[in-house]
Amino acid sequence: MPSERRVRIGELARRTGTTPELLRAWEQRYGLFEPIRTAAGYRLYSASDEQRVRAMRSRLAEGLSAAQAARAVRDGRPPADALLRLEEAFARFDATAAEDLLDQLLTARPAESVVLDVVLPVLRAVGDRPDPGDREIASEHFASNLISGRLRSLARGWDLGAGPRALLACPSGERHDLGLIAFGLALREHGWRITLLGHDTPTSTIERTAGTLAPRAVVLSAVVPERFADPGLARLGLGRLLAIGGAGARPEEAGAIGALLLEGDPFSAAAQVAAVAAA
């Protein structure tokens, strides 16, 4: 049989309406392609690579971020009924069904994909109900606690190893640490050791712990901007990287305490911290 005809990156860009620079970024950042190389070092791309570019553009047109789109193309979207079944299990307060479904998803798919494509969308759906009553509020707490426990089970041993250490905490008054746990799992994939103090941690406690552990980075998360208002938080950045993330993290809060502003999903934020710390 004749060998498959492959094309160089310029031709692939022309065929797909992109640019060589964009294709290189998708390859290097997200592993979207695995081209072969000629003896002269040129990359050659296949017809399946072209299909992936077109699928990537389609996912971006749907409103996904580049990282989310690449994951969808590489791994395939989770079945739509998986999200619905998980949401329904939370609405019924059915812990067994929810945990079984999460286990099935985590067995079949990378944890990153499950967190970004299933867990976070379901939590948003549960939490964004208009005019929630007591039952809806209870359902949100139930879902958050169950998922938090499941993610914490994945975090066992995340403080072991020889990599740089990150100290994670939610400032005083902040009760939502689910995103921070997901961030810690993502940062561990970059070789970091993780120490999690969790929700509602006083500044003095974070500072003392940082003095004891000497972490490379302190990362704070909050959904309310006022949680970052304590000027004492700026001391956490002395001699180390200080970063803030979560829905409450904005440029003004980051600027006030000299922190790096983390943007995007927890896995994108982890890559940002790893890159800045390595620079």
pTM as predicted: 0.68
The Cβ-side half-sphere exposure at 193, using a 13 Å CA radius, reads 13
How many residues appear in the chain?
Answer: 279
- pLDDT at site 132: 67
Average pLDDT over residues 230-238: 96
- CA 198 to mean position of chain CA atoms: 17
Average pLDDT over residues 153-157: 87
Q: Which two tokens stand for residue 121?
A: 């969308």
Higher-scoring residue by pLDDT: 2, 176? 176
- pLDDT at site 81: 64
Summarize pLDDT for 164-211 with one digit per residue, the tens: 999 999 999 998 888 899 999 999 989 999 999 999 999 999 999 999
Summarize pLDDT for 208-228 with one digit per residue, the tens: 999 999 999 999 999 999 999
**DSSP label at 216?**
S
Structural domains in the chain, sorted by start: 9-75 (1.10.1660.10), 80-154 (1.10.1240.10), 165-278 (3.40.50.280)
